[in-house]
Amino acid sequence: MEKEEDIELRKVELRRRKALSAIFNTLLSYVLVCGSAFLTSNSLKNFLLFLAFIFLVNSVVKFLFVQSYRIFALIYLLGFLLLAIYSFKVEFPTLMLYYLLIALAHMLYFKKTKKRMFSFLTSLSLAFSIVEILLNLSGLSFASYLLLLAYQFLLAYAFSNAWYIDAFYFTPKRKDYTDDKGLESRGINSPFELKKPTLMFKTFGEIYSSPFVDSEESVYVVSADATFYKYAFDGTLLWSIELGSESFSGPFADKYGNLYIVDNGGEVRKYTINGEKLWSSRIGKTLTFSAVLVDDKIYVMTFDGNLYEVNSQGTKRKLLSISEYIELNPLVTEEGIYILTSEGKLYKFSIDGNEIWHLVTGFVSAMPVLGSDGNLYIGCEDKFLYSINSKDGSINWGFKTNEKINVSPALDSLDNTEHVYVGSGEELFCLDLNGNLIWKFDMSSEISVSPTVLEDNDIYIGCKGGDYFSLRRDGSVKWYWKMGAGVYAKPVMSKSQKVYVPCTDGNVYLFE
């Protein structure tokens, strides 16, 4: 789990991108307004029409650069042509057709996103078309110009306040590797695949948490636009729920198929697979950004150091309290509960909340993992990966890397041989349980998410620059793809061994 400062930086980046888009559109508007005023001189009618064109041009510019939504840019472009025809006084119901055309675009948007804003804009466009007919029959052409101007202002306001409008979004270029030369041990070089995703599940917000995939290959995901989505196996949006508060926690399911969401506003919610809300339980003002489900009980930390247990009916109880700031999830096991503070102090508590031991480590940005050997493995900002005895908190060994360790390590177990994988800077290290280096891989981009070993025994790892790798257990590259943005959440694998990778470009990528 990442630090609060890192998450806040991402929020700032979202606001920055939105502000840049607004500045870009505003500057373009001023240029076109000044140009139209100069060209039209004293013609108020043409001035109003040019002003209407401005907002339409902005919309076209935005949508042309949003991947997979160019059909909507085409609709807006046709609308622009209708306005151009209207400006030349062609005897044709152009404005009415314009409103109907834009209503069609919004209707398609609503069908795709299930967002109420597009339903409202559809109704608004239809209403404007009716008013335009009445004005046309009454001969009030000047009122038609004012109506058009008001409509364009409403559109501009609606889209400028939408999370998913970004004039600076471009399709990323692929990065081609000639071989897996990043490997620095045993000289292994083997062919690998430049793998394309077979499907993308599109949301309208950045994704910082893992999706959940059920037995029917339906995909459940929460994005940064505070929306909970469900997609069918073919990418069709089945439903979406507006949460009302951002959530950096992905959905997780109990053995009965019920889904749980934890939002940043301090609320835990339970849903059916059909999106029906069963209950919600308010824990506190601010929570850590995820929760842990163990034996049908949810464990969630608050930033002020309180650990709560929530049962399957939504009833909460406080298990323990630490007078320290907490940014990470608890690690809950049968033998105890492990909690890391922001200052790097690692606690072990019994299930009933009694402290067993604590250990002062270096500053820590990610939770430890517990191995089958009974040892905890934790990476610290002092550049060390530590093995810690979970019984008494003593340190077994430390392995020095070249950079700070900001992601959790991962473990695998195959043929009775267990390895530890840890990312540091741009390097991925593979160690045995005694702390001996087996191999090291240079990612050529900073690692942004914990390595993940899935059921196919391959290692999946993503980077801030969008580079995504599937590695074999010997450290050689199996396949590679360049995502549209950074990857900050772990992938999941379905029962049919399809891999779903969430990305901050708003997509969940499917690899087969």
For 141-194, how does the pLDDT look when each residue is reduced to its tens digit (9 = 90+)? 777 777 777 776 677 666 655 544 333 333 333 333 334 444 333 333 455 677
Query: Does residue 91 surpass a pLDDT of 60?
Result: no
More reliable by pLDDT, 75 or 307? 307
Asked whether the CA dihedral 214, 217, 220, 221 is positive or negative, the reply is positive
Give 174's DSSP letter.
P
Give the burial class of 255: count Cβ atoms within 10 A of its Cβ; 0-12 exposed, 13-18 middle, 19 or more buried. Answer: exposed
- Can you tell me the distance from the alpha carbon of 420 to that of 173, in angstroms, rounded to the nearest whole number? 33
Greater confidence, 69 or 9?
9
In the block, tokens 């160019």 appear at 70
Residue with tokens 């085409």: 74
Q: How confident is the model at residue 289 (pLDDT cuts 50, 70, 90)?
A: low
Mean local confidence (pLDDT), 392-407: 93
Mean pLDDT of 231-236: 92
Non-local CB neighbours of 140 within 8 Å, separated by 6+ positions? none
Q: What are phi and psi of 35, to 5 degrees?
A: -65, -40
Average pLDDT rounded to a whole number, residues 197-209: 86
Q: What are residue 96's phi and psi, to 5 degrees?
A: -65, -45
Secondary-structure percent of the chain, ordered helix, strand, coil, rounded to 5: 25, 30, 45
Note the pLDDT of residue 445: 83
Domain locations along the chain: 4-160
Per-residue confidence (pLDDT) for residue 79, from 0 to 100: 64
pTM of the model: 0.68
Mean pLDDT value across the chain: 77
Q: Which of 67-71, 330-334, 368-372, 467-471 has the lowest mean pLDDT?
A: 67-71
Decide if pLDDT at 70 tops 90: no
Q: Rounded distance, CA 430 to CA 410, Å? A: 10
The mean pLDDT of 57-78, rounded to a whole number, is 54
CA gap 479, 269 in Å, rounded: 37
pLDDT band at 430 (very low <50, low <70, confident <90, very high): very high
Mean pLDDT lowest for which of 79-83, 438-442, 459-463? Answer: 79-83
Higher pLDDT, 266 or 339: 339
pLDDT the model gives residue 461: 94
Whether the pLDDT of residue 405 is over 50: the answer is: yes
Res 174: pLDDT: 32
pLDDT for the residue numbered 107: 84
Going by pLDDT thresholds of 50, 70 and 90, the confidence category of residue 340 is confident
Q: Tell me the C-alpha distance between 327 and 288, whole Å.
A: 6
What are 385's two structure tokens?
């990966």
Rank 52-66, 104-118, 339-353 by mean pLDDT and report only the highest: 339-353
Q: How confident is the model at residue 278 (pLDDT cuts 50, 70, 90)?
A: very high
**Measured in whole angstroms, how far is the alpha carbon of residue 426 from the centre of its chain?**
22
Q: Please give the pLDDT value at position 325.
A: 78
